[in-house]
Structure 1
Amino acid sequence: MSGAALGRRRRDERGSLAIEMAMIAPGLLLIFGLIFAYGRAGQVNGALESGTRDAARSATMARSYAEAEQRARQVVSEAIGGTPAACRHSLSVEVSDDYLPGEPITVTARCRYGLADLGLPGAPGTLTATSSFTSMLDPYRGVD
């Protein structure tokens, strides 16, 4: 076979890379978007869990229920300092009412944050992160 006949048998592959990238690029962008979404959820949930745990322990050091609430709010607020602003603004911290020596005290924290800025199709607009931690009050502790 001559070189001209062989050249006619080969397909022209110009532009095939552009077509392949047009098919692959949306999937890659979706995967990166999901990585960012899971990363944000992990960051917020981790910070809230850590803050709630520390808040419950700090609340057990307080001498009154009002001081326990104040300590809990302050500790959780400091712990979520690196999270999205929407989470910091929507934060709610609750301390259980049973503030008696020898009883458990539970701190529950919630915040809402958005995923809309990631531009993921079908992603929920906002998520709510909730965390709760229980710590025991010293049975011999003086409480006001």
Structure 2
Amino acid sequence: MAVEIALLAPALVLVLGLLVAGGRLWFARTTVVEAAQASARAASLARGAGEAAAVGTDAGRQSMITAGLRCATSSVQVSTAAFAVPVGTPATLTSDITCDVPFGDVLLPGMPGSLHLTGRGSAALDTYRAR
């Protein structure tokens, strides 16, 4: 009986570690994509390109902080080229978020120290509002 437990215990610990790592990876990917979408939406509500970049960047960062995602390094970039499109023409703002999520505390063989995740969000500008 002791030999069986000695053989099964490492396998069970490995399975538990894989479940924890998989859950954290799912959470991190979902949070990055949601933050990118929130960033684009906030930027689309701004009145000008400069304000949209600032508001979108802040919204993306706040969304990741609120969700509890810790990134070793992160960046939020909001493309405001849609504000240059003439009024009456459909235009879309995009937001790209990158995050290096540390996985060093998950002690699994072959698990990288961190994973580089990216998310892209987009939101339409009102076609007939003044730009």
Give me the TM-score of the superposition, normalised by structure 1.
Answer: 0.80
After TM superposition, give the deviation of residue 80 of structure 1 in Å. Answer: 1.1
1:23-34 pair list within 5 angstroms: 23-34=7-18
Who is 2:110 aligned against?
122
Who is 1:72 aligned against?
56
Distance 2:41 2:97 in 1: 14
Of the candidates 10, 20, 40, which is equivalent to residue 24 of structure 2? 40
- Counterpart AA for 1:99: A
Structure 1 gaps of 5+ residues are 1-16
Distance 2:79 2:60 in 1: 15
Asked if the contact 1:56–1:135 (Cα under 8 Å) also holds between the matched residues in 2, the reply is yes
Pairing 1:92–2:75 present? yes
Aligned length: 124
After TM superposition, give the deviation of residue 112 of structure 1 in Å. Answer: 0.2
Distance 2:91 2:76 in 1: 19
After TM superposition, give the deviation of residue 48 of structure 1 in Å. Answer: 1.4
After TM superposition, give the deviation of residue 113 of structure 1 in Å. Answer: 1.1
Distance 2:53 2:113 in 1: 30
1:13-48 C-alpha deviation (Å, 9 max, x unpaired): xxxx21111111111111111111111111111111
Pairing 1:103–2:91 present? yes
Distance 1:54 1:138 in 2: 17
4+ runs of 1 displaced by more than 4 Å?
Answer: none
Q: Which has the higher strand share?
A: 2
| Identity in percent | 31
Cα RMSD of the aligned pairs, angstroms, is 1.4
Distance 1:78 1:95 in 2: 15
Pairing 1:63–2:63 present? no
- Counterpart AA for 1:83: L
Who is 1:140 aligned against?
128
Asked if the contact 1:99–1:105 (Cα under 8 Å) also holds between the matched residues in 2, the reply is yes
Structure with the bigger RCO (C-alpha within 8 Å, sep 6+) is 2
Structure 2 gaps of 5+ residues are none
Give me the TM-score of the superposition, normalised by structure 2.
Answer: 0.87
Asked if the contact 1:45–1:129 (Cα under 8 Å) also holds between the matched residues in 2, the reply is yes
